[in-house]
Structure 1
Amino acid sequence: MGIGESRTGVTESPVDTARWVVPVLAVVGAGICLVTLIAGPAAFTAAGGPALLSGLLAVAVLAPLALFAARGRPGAGRALVVAGGLVVLTHVVHTLPRVGVFAGLDWNWQGKTLELLWLAVLLLVLHRWARTAAGLRRPEPGTLGPALRLIVGWFLVVACLVAFSLADFGPVDGERMLFDVAHPNLVEELLWRGVLLAVLDRALGAPWRFFGARVGWGLVLTSVGFGLGHGLLVTGEGLLFDPAAIVLTGFAGLLLGWVRAYTGSVWLAYLAHCAPEVGIAAGELLRS
């Protein structure tokens, strides 16, 4: 019997088995302990408390829509609990105090690296499910061309808009460019369009056709959740509510979710995620 496969030969998802929980929590727990040891308990509490509240707030806001989507679907409740737990986990991991080599960097490499580690453990433990359901595979035949046209078009539109914009999008340096094309974007896709979308689609179904892609409530929930993660946060200073960020990143999540659903591959969603961010940098360079 392979890892991630039940005794009956059926591929297991994170909802079907708990064998991934201890390894994932061990990785996250080790990271938290190391950060607390270096930064101190006070620094961890100051960052971890608001992060936990942010995750719980996002879950609470999504709950009515999720419960509506789950009505009449046996077993959906367990899937929602798993998805909610992963949403809370990503909030906590990303807001730990930065220590060591990460402390002097402008971008949150620490949070993204720790998230990559626990996601890698999850996907390795359930590697059959990761390939068949979570998108760690090649795109479906005939889908690569349309997806690449969307990705290139998205890049060009953003680059042109930024090049002729009066807004300041920040300095473009080597660290920013590397952050925009390396694993930070990949971990968001592995979580939101990989693990979460697969869990929710299996539990809630994907009965709709959306520009050739088979989608369902999973696309809606991951898009809204993605937006909330960028515009509804609890900080040390209080509640941060940015409707524009929620709408813009939620719409981006919708496009990324479409790429994932249409092609079947999370790797194409990762390329699509990089497109607008590299476009911003290209636009800044063009007008400098």
Structure 2
Amino acid sequence: MKRRVSPAAAVTVAVLAFLYLPIGMVIVNAFNADESLVGWGGATLEWITGAFADERVREDFLTSCLIALLSTVVAVALSLAAVMAVSRLPKRAGAVLQTLTYARLMIPEVVIAAGILVVIQRLGLSTGTWSVVAGHIVFCSAYATLVLQSRFATLTGTYDEAAADLGAPPRRVFLKVLWPMMMPAVVIAALLSFTFSFDDVVSTVFLAGPETETLPVLILSLSRHGTSPEINAIAVAFMFVSLVLMCLVALASFWPSKQTRSVTSEEEEA
């Protein structure tokens, strides 16, 4: 008796194929020796090595890394300070700030980027790397705030108050008690911020000057003239970096639970 395929399973397979088949085609064509990409001409590393030999690709990759690094450092620092400040505010004021944080996630990125561009033009400033970093900080800090806030909410009112009752000053409470337990969330927020900044196109297109170009923008500009093996090779390298970052986020997500279990076991032994 043949087993019938349920409609739900068929729809699931179709959706997964629609999502991941284009990615698979990009990966396959990056190693396809047939330059026309009409058929399979054998495996080759020519397009991969050729892409990294291109000075423009290397410069754009370094620019993307620099922008993502600067955006991550500032966004995480501001988010951590904001989370700690909100915890000491009245509930209504804290709720207002949380609403503003969620608003940054709900407002389309193109609207935020256009608003930042208008402000820059009103001030008579020129766009460039710094303006791209400023735009990335706006949306990266929103994601970082959500990550840090969820972790900080489980710590305040217990460990910090216990340390304060034992006579520890506020600075020592933060450095010796809160900071070690916040570190996993800080790492996750930093990795997510770096990934979002490294992958961003919308804000970068709006806020980048004529001398600033990132790797995603390069891929977009090259794709307007049609696909080629070089574009696929650059896209594969780009996906590899993003995949590594997301794997690091997944690994770091196990750190808080492991650390919490160790702290709980120490408390039970005591």
Note whether the superposition's TM-score is higher than 0.5: no
Structure with the higher fraction of residues in strand conformation: 1
Structure with the higher fraction of residues in helix conformation: 2
Q: Which of the pair has the greater relative contact order for Cα pairs under 8 Å at 6+ separation?
A: 2
